[in-house]
Structure 1
Amino acid sequence: MLDLTKLSQQMQGMSQHINREAEASRKRIEIALNLMEQAKLNSDNLMQKHEEFKQRIIFKPATPLEPLNHYPYIVEPPLAHTVFATDGSQIAPSAHEIAYCYLINVGRVILHYGQSRHPILDSVPEIYYRPEDLYLSRQWGIKTEEWMGYRRSVSEAIILAESGQQLLEISPNQQLNIPTLALVDGSLVYWFLEQLPSEARDLILQPILQSWEQLRLANIPLMGYVSASRSSESLSFLRLQACTFEEPNCLKYCPGTGGMSATGTEKKAPCQVCDPLRDTVLWESQLKPGQRSPFWRSNSSILDLYDHHQIYFCYVNVGMEIARLEVPAWVVENSEQLELALGMVIAQVQKGYGYPVVLAEAHNQAVVKGGDRSRFFAMLEQQMIKAGLRNVGISYKEARKRGSIA
């Protein structure tokens, strides 16, 4: 149990700390807004400087695709349109259960608007129990639980592409004339892949990119919806404006940046005057409800492996928050398709009272509740008994935890 009396004693100084942080954040926002105004007049020069000196810069600023003062309103989508999404959940492997295995459950939702067609809400479960499923990642020093999360991303992408193909097969002539959007919960930039060995990375990334390619060939735009984004890629572009040197060279002029001082604070370069401000805080002060920021190209190192699926992003004031929307390059290149996709996302947020309804429903279809978990292991136990196995059961530790006598 949580002792709230002891906890309250530790919180007494917390309000003062929060007030200090809020004041510091306001000052950082003022600085960021001033840099933004300067960058609007100097964006071409900053992009040229980044291109010329990017080998000497240790951070990865995003590159604006449009003028920095371009804040267009998003147009409502046509009455008739289709949106579909996937989201995943899992049961992690446990040495204390009746069998060492894990399960990935991918929720799938297809919603049709203005078409008199029934929605599809279901889930696709898959159990992993073979040695290659459980122990393959150990050779790269990756825990099974961590690998399971990566495999879930693959399953979500594959089932998303299969859903797009299913739409075309059921009514190809009708669907070609109906704006359609494939929506993903979270970023399309898989930052975690940067730390993986190349062989392990290929096993995760290649199936995802192949699924995206299927959507591209089907002419179905793909978009990632990031709520409460922690990114600062567009703010990093302002570091070029804040740089005090004519020719940026981080290693030469600002050595030790990113390290920790003896007092436990991070060593910052002169251009880090806005850190640790996030993009969403900046764009919250710039965008009105229904407006979007300019599109930016992400320059994350992992995107070097994405081929023609380079990722672009923008920020949108959806009314309840500033959301980050990400799309592959082939969506940005089709301006008509892009505007339709943006409109469908805004409509989804409105229907979901602040969050895309198709993503919320996909999550609800995917989530594995306590009762589902119990039934899953009960089914597994029955199969093991039918196979002639004896002494099937959970560990004594797990049994005592479930039936405490304290």
Structure 2
Amino acid sequence: MLDLLKVAGQMQGMSAQLAREAKAIALKLDLAQSLFEDATSNLELRQQQLQAWRDRLAFNCAEPMESLDTRHSITPFSAPHTIVATDGSQIAPSRHEIAYCYLINVGRVALHYGSSIYPVLDNLPEVYYKPEDLYGARQWGIQTEEWMTLKRTVAEAIALAELACGQKERSPIFGPVLALSDGSLIHWSLEMLPPEARAKILPDILAAWERLRRDRIPLAGYISAPRSTEATNFLRLQACPFPQPDCHTHCKSDAERNLDRAPCSVLQPLRDATLWQRFLQPGEASPLWRSSARILQEYGDHTVYFCYLHVGTEIARVEMPEWTALDAELRLQVLSLVLAQIQKGYGYPVALSEAHNQAVVTGSDRHRFFAILERSLIDSGLKNITTSFKETRKRNSIA
């Protein structure tokens, strides 16, 4: 049992640290605003530098596709429309249970506004128990738990495309359909995987997105409380004191030891959302940016763009594949539909929260899952079905 009295004694130090950090961020924001204004005036030069020296930068820097002082006023969508969303959860494998397996549960939601069509609220569970599902990824040094998470990402993308395309086919007269994903469309973790493992994951995701593209269903990833610094890093080009932003030449020793010591790091650790909190009013969207994450080199026509949207309660990051972002009609439609969802959900998209509720696997669900599995194993004629002594002791603790 957690000793809250001991924890409370540590809170004062934490509070003092956060107060100091808040003061430092306020000073960095003033500097960021000055650099932002200078970068706006020198935007063409900074874009040229980014294009020419991208491979020599020691940090990930997004590229603005519009003037930095661009603001888009977004009106919540009010005509009939459909929002489709998915989210996933899982039961992780445990060697202490009666069998080594895992379960992925994908929650699906389709909400129809301005019509009498019943919503879709369900989930798709799937149990993985075959050797290739449990041990196949170990040939690439990937643990089963990590592979399970990647498989869940694929399952969410496939379910989203199937549901969205199905809704458009069944109800084409009830306005546009938006496919909404929880979290980033940029799968950063794939960068660290061997190419052979990545080939088992990414093509299936992109194939699902391609299906949405063919049916002209816009796709968006909604990120609440984003922690990215991709847009803020663009200001580092303005802060660079050298004629050319060649990090590997001018700041190589600093970058090797600690990138935060480089002259252009004066804004670190300022995040994009904190910066845009100063510039955006409720209902406004930032200019469009193109991410430069390395993994996007394998996305083809689905490379990811993003913008920041002031939803009233926070600054959210909205990501879109290229075919959605560069289509002015679809992009405006996405932002308008997302803002409507946030207003209906009192600060967070209704469809995403409902998809989470459909997907979540509770502790009691987990116990019932293994109880059903135990009965199935016994009915199959297996004997000595039991958990490890450690798990048995934990379940029967006298504490």
Q: Which residue of 1 aligns with 2:84?
A: 84
Aligned with 1:205 (options 202, 206, 224): 202
User: Using the alignment, how far apart are the partners of 1:16 and 1:116 within structure 2?
Assistant: 54
Moved more, 333-342 or 130-139: 333-342
Q: Which residue of 2 aligns with 1:270?
A: 263
- 1:345 paired to 2:338: yes
Q: Which residue of 1 aligns with 2:215?
A: 218
Aligned with 1:187 (options 164, 184, 191): 184
Matches within 5 A, 1:168-317: 168-171=168-171, 173-174=172-173, 178-260=175-257, 267-317=260-310
One-letter code aligned to 1:139 = Q
Structure 2 unaligned spans of 5+ = none
Moved more, 356-365 or 74-83: 74-83
User: Using the alignment, how far apart are the partners of 2:122 and 2:55 within structure 1?
Assistant: 48
Q: Is contact 1:80–1:115 with CA below 8 Å preserved after alignment?
A: yes
One-letter code aligned to 1:222 = L
What is the aligned length?
A: 399
- 1:394 paired to 2:387: yes
One-letter code aligned to 1:334 = D
One-letter code aligned to 2:232 = L
Q: Which residue of 1 aligns with 2:39?
A: 39
Q: Which residue of 2 aligns with 1:55?
A: 55
One-letter code aligned to 2:103 = L
Q: Secondary structure at the match of 1:11?
A: helix
Matches within 5 A, 1:4-153: 4-153=4-153
Aligned with 2:328 (options 328, 335, 345): 335
Q: Secondary structure at the match of 1:59?
A: coil
Shift of 1:258: 4.2
Q: Secondary structure at the match of 2:199?
A: helix
Q: Is contact 1:256–1:267 with CA below 8 Å preserved after alignment?
A: no
One-letter code aligned to 1:228 = A
**TM norm structure 2:** 0.97
Q: Is contact 1:315–1:324 with CA below 8 Å preserved after alignment?
A: yes
One-letter code aligned to 1:87 = D
Structure 1 unaligned spans of 5+ = none
One-letter code aligned to 1:156 = E
Shift of 1:85: 0.4
Q: How big is the alpha-carbon RMSD for the aligned residues of Structure 1 and Structure 2?
A: 1.3
User: Using the alignment, how far apart are the partners of 1:340 and 1:55 within structure 2?
Assistant: 34
1:24-47 Cα shifts (integer Å, max 9, x gaps): 111111111110011111111100
Moved more, 124-133 or 5-14: 5-14
Q: Is contact 1:164–1:218 with CA below 8 Å preserved after alignment?
A: no
